[in-house]
Structure 1
């Protein structure tokens, strides 16, 4: 179990070294940021000198000519130039960004970084080459008392301090190095040569520089042909659009980790052998004393000296063993804590999976209820369709009856007309019958008109019934499709529930296994402590 626990410990130790590498990036980032902030402050202080600024304002307004401006401004700017050994040149531009005065080393105009008009902050460009040397150009706006831009200072600084930061390999061993870079015209560039004197970055370094310029931070492992060539930590420089990288060979980065792991693995073997060796070393003097005869004083003295030497050696071994045991106990405690953290994480994952399972089961139940409702709706729609069909048939029967009534009314009308004709022929005797025939004719006309209106209404009802039949048929199809979708959703939820159930089971198994591992590690720790205590007590008794 102890050997099986070495692997997570090894990974944690590697992560510790990787965090140390990231800490190295953070530390160097802070140093570079501090350097750049100091350079900006220096440039802004030069730009804010009141006397020199007022002279520039007068020059911009044409109150003094260029010769007068240069003569009056040169002593002030030279004094500013002497304030720091890193300052080697100052170029002051007028309100139109034209060179007004130059003191110290000249800065080519196309290499200067000029701040935008809407900013009052200084900016730092990437290092430039002048006469075979590298320099930094800091652009600082010159602002009057009204907050208006009246000019720009371009301050030239050496990169010696910056190079010292980059070339400080403290804590980076023989293969580690610090890299500063930026993106220029879409191409990643290095400010200074690498440790092997090369200036061209690899593709991985180019991609990493682009990440840092974008503001990203993190850790990358350069894998080439299946092996890790470099471990790279990177970060962004907040005071500029630069990026910083610290890379190191993994063999050197993890060397101490490998040594510790080998030591821990050896401790397990040593602990089992050391007890036997120690007992032999301790019992041998006692056995020697039991069999050595004390006839001669010289032999007795030599024997005592030998015993003293052996006891001293045994005590030294015991002290070393105690140190090793303490280291093992410390590592075991870390393993125990790590195992318990994993167990707790597994328990949390299991609880989350259980909650998800409950939600899935609730969703499955809801889908089942929806499916039942869909089936009921389907049956109701079918019943409506059936009743609508029956209504259509009844309406057709009513139409037949109305047709028959209409025919009877027409025949009655004909009979009333014939009766009126016969009444006229009968003369005075047929007058009363003629009145009755006229009334019958009126009733026949009214019946015929009513049947016509009823026939028209029945025709509209037939149309509505036909539309209703079509709608109910479409409703039946829609409900059938909805039922099918609900059934498919139910199957998906069932499958998802099975998967979540497996996740819950696996999480519980992982949590239980990790808890058992933590318990076993604790038992090993307790056993080592007991052995160490008993052995220490035994040695104290013998000495």
Structure 2
């Protein structure tokens, strides 16, 4: 699919437009990749940073609560064992609270009030400390407005009975030194909720006499506002939402105040209504007391931290903070804007330059295409001429090879005939030697001359025939040498026509021509010698005829004949040598012709390879021309 699109893209869009499109993509894509990577990396970094800051923020807010309640349980236990408590218990047990002992009893009450006052001064978040007897009656009560300077002891007439209060009944069930921690709720006076609302957290422990009998409880009321207000007024991220939730999921603090204290005001506003069941479950019942929650698809980053109020970790306050992710990723908006502006500015700067440069490139390519097209046409024409010349050279080489084959056959035949002439000359030489011996016999026995003259005449006739044969062979050799000379001349002409490839062949043809000329000269010499032999034979015949007439002249004739035969022997030896030279020359001619034939075969192979190379060059030139035409269409 992509390949078809790219192919269609190349065909339908001009090169200049393709360059501009590629320039746009090459500008946008890198910036987009870098921008995406930067946004992705920055998103993860900002998210991790926000999670870390949220964890630290939750920890700081949790420390407000932990600092406010730290040590209060121990303080009420210590108060339950102070001497004034024991003294008051003993005085009440012995009935010494009448008018007689009133002053002493009041002193005990004041001592206990003093202890309570010191506790409130050291812990300003404590707004009320009370001692209730075993019947729930307040014995001592100090109230504070949350400052260490305004602490009041409640008069005896205003003391209340709290035996129905749940914290009294629950605390009276505890063992010694155990502490009861109440839920955070509105403070009640005379059974009614105090207004303005005063949320309190109570720490209470039972009081025992020396016999281990329960004698009431010590109760310290902490103002929940002491840690709620600082948390609400602490630094926030823009758009951050803070909530305080009790262990039942009711809001103690919420940005929407009408959702607060639903369990006291009869409203069913809980955490489960605003959060998914999974998140609500994690905040209220998860094993971990702290966590950061990043729900997929949620626009908020949530975190919680539980602060336990009692040692059993059954009562707690959950600090829940939500931060809009748009605030976390707000710095990315400027980064995205910069990325978009970078793309626009890059395109504004690059596109005009790219248009100009692409136009220049297209013009250069067009000129190059025209040059390639012209060159390919010229090259194609030249190659066709070279192909025609190579074909002619191949034909000439083939014809020359055929001629040299014929010349080789002719030389072989001349060599055989020269060998036959050599054999005949050797036989004539033998006959000449016999003639010499015969002349010697004539000198030894003149009387036998007459008989031998006839034999000599016959031998001379036979010698005349051989001489005639030698003359014929010599003429044949002369003709062959003449033909060889003509063939060598033709070969030299063809070598010249073959050009550079025929230079070696021209040298060989010239050597063959020289050998043919030498063979012709040797044959001419043989003809002269044969003529001399024939003349000598004729003279011998005449002498023989005269020898029959006179014996006196026989000796002289015999001497002359001996001399003549000596000359004949020398001539025959010369004929033998000439025939040997002719045979050697013919062998050299055959070897030279074979070399010429081999050279012509090499030339033929070179011509064929040249023709193949020319054909390949022709195909490549045609492909180059086609590519130039396609490129011209593209631009």
Which TM-score bucket, shorter chain as reference? Answer: 0.3 to 0.5
Greater Rg over alpha carbons, structure: 2
Structure 1-normalised TM-score?
0.41
**TM-score of the pair, normalised by structure 2:** 0.36
